[in-house]
Amino acid sequence: MRQRKGSDFAGLSVAIATPFKNGQVDYQALRDQVEFQASAGTTCLVPVGTTGESPTLTHDEHEKIISEVVQASAGRMKIMAGTGSNCTAEALRLTKWAASAGADAALIVGPYYNKPTQEGFYAHFKALAEECDIPICVYNIPGRTAKNIDPETIVRLGELTNITMVKEATGSLDQASQILADSDLTVLSGDDSMTLPLMSIGGEGVISVVGNIIPHEMIELVETYKSGKLHEAALLHHRLFNLSSALLSLSTNPIPIKAAMHLLGRDTGEIRLPLIPLGSEQVSELRKTLVDFGLLEKSTC
């Protein structure tokens, strides 16, 4: 089996939520989240990504959250900081800052809204790779950025030393297969429900949302597949699927996962506009899903 760049990030990475209290970042709750993940044995934490509500954080908050997570993890987990922007200069500034704060890698989303050409995508990531020392994970999520980074472009980017990983959130196994066949990049699932399918074609793990509440179960899924227990892995995938799909279908991420964390007593559930909380019927549906999975007692419903 070929040695892939970025394979030291294989396993479970968790895109941690940013906790708020009375409109402000709750740094103690953030540190508690880090402890929860360290105790579970999570490989890597990914602060200030989509799940971390990066679009509504100030620059100061963004930087402080990265710093707090690095310090709280104290080397027990890798840290892949979200540092993307639709402005190359801003992405470069933030990635350099994350590196100086001790982040082990950067998760960089494809530039959104301005819809670059494929050559523009390449030039954007090339500029970052040439100026930054830490590994870069290309985050391809066309459902949010409005444009796909084509597999040919990602393969070309993989020839650059510092670009070592792809967070694959297109939902296309064909796209992931082409990247895996034609490059040495490590592919990580960007969707919890696609973790096992992507691993079956050569992916090496997941950057998970549901891992905020069930890191042990996500680690078990990854490790069971890696140990060759394919039937058992499929059964775990089926069990996890309803929870993962509920968190995706109820509303926009991270609204459902923060509501789930609130129901489990691990977060206030606060989010920032323009995101709004789940409605009462959606909360009831989420409660039922958590009860069915065994995370909540039925009497709490």
Return the active site residues: 139, 167
Question: Using omega within 30 degrees of 0 as the cis cutoff, is the peptide bond preceding 135 cis?
Answer: no
Can you tell me the distance from the alpha carbon of 205 to that of 47, in angstroms, rounded to the nearest whole number?
Answer: 17
Amino acid at 1: M
Cα separation, 248 vs 257, whole angstroms: 9
* Main-chain dihedrals φ then ψ at residue 130, nearest 5 degrees: -75, -25
CA distances from 286 to 90, 133, 241, 259, 275 (A): 37, 42, 14, 8, 17
Angle between helices 27-40 and 215-226 (to 10 degrees): 30
Sign, Cα dihedral of 220, 226, 227, 230: positive
